Amino acid sequence: MPSKPASSTKPSAEADLAFLRSIVEGGGKPSITMAICYLAGGLLYGLQCLFHIGQMVGVIRWPDLVNLAFVIGITVTVLGVIVWASIRDKREAGPGGGNRGPLATRTLNAGFSGAGMVNLAMVIIFGVGAARDNDFALWLYYPAVVFGLQAAVWSVAWVLKKKVWMLATAAGGWLTTVALGLLVRQPDLYLYVCTAALFLLFALPGWIMLREAQSKAA
């Protein structure tokens, strides 16, 4: 069998090297949707935790109906931001946009999407369990597990992209999971840890990803 000419072998080797480099370095434009959702979720739910801390220390004394409206308003706003960011991202990506970009970026986006699906299942499991057993502490295990899932995804992100802030986020998520799991019967300490984690492990990574996405776009 005749061997390939050197002229055809060289481009093929360069393409293979470029493919491997995209996996190791994880180049490509970060997802605007993911960045905005992390930033908005961390800020808004962090604000809600601060609100509950204010209630706990007696600074906020609103009527029950107003308290409920505030909490529902936070969730509705977060969902609205997610829907808006998703529509914006798909519109800018164009047809087939979800399949574009380096393998590392697409793998990372798939990991976060998978974690989101598991989160939805856990809302049902922990919510129904807490209501059935009339034990609010069971529901408090849900945020603890959420931070654990996020820690797992961020550890994959660090392996793919080797960015120190991703490793720090993964480690912080793991520590937060353990801390929250041990503090479900101590609501005051639980609330302090959860508040700090939302700002540091959701809002801050979201802000970093948004800056990176804007830098890539520029």
Is the confidence at residue 114, as pLDDT, over 50? yes
Say whether pLDDT at 19 is over 60: no
Lowest pLDDT segment from 24-38, 49-63, 148-162, 193-207 = 24-38
Q: Domain span at residue 189?
A: 30-94+102-217
Helix ranges (DSSP H) in the chain: 6-25, 32-57, 64-93, 103-133, 136-161, 164-182, 187-198, 204-217
pLDDT tens-digit profile of 21-62?
A: 444 444 444 577 888 889 999 999 999 999 999 999 999 999
Paired tokens of 1: 């069998």
Residue 176 falls inside a structural domain: yes
Calpha distance 186→208 (Å, rounded): 32
Cα separation of 115 and 140, whole Å? 18
Lowest mean pLDDT among 22-26, 122-126, 205-209: 22-26
pTM across the whole model: 0.77
Residue 202 belongs to some domain of the structure: yes
Would 23 be classed as within a structural domain?
no
pLDDT score of 64 = 92
Counting the structural domains of the chain, the total is 1
**For residue 22, what pLDDT is reported?**
44
For residue 5, how far is the Cα from the chain centroid?
48
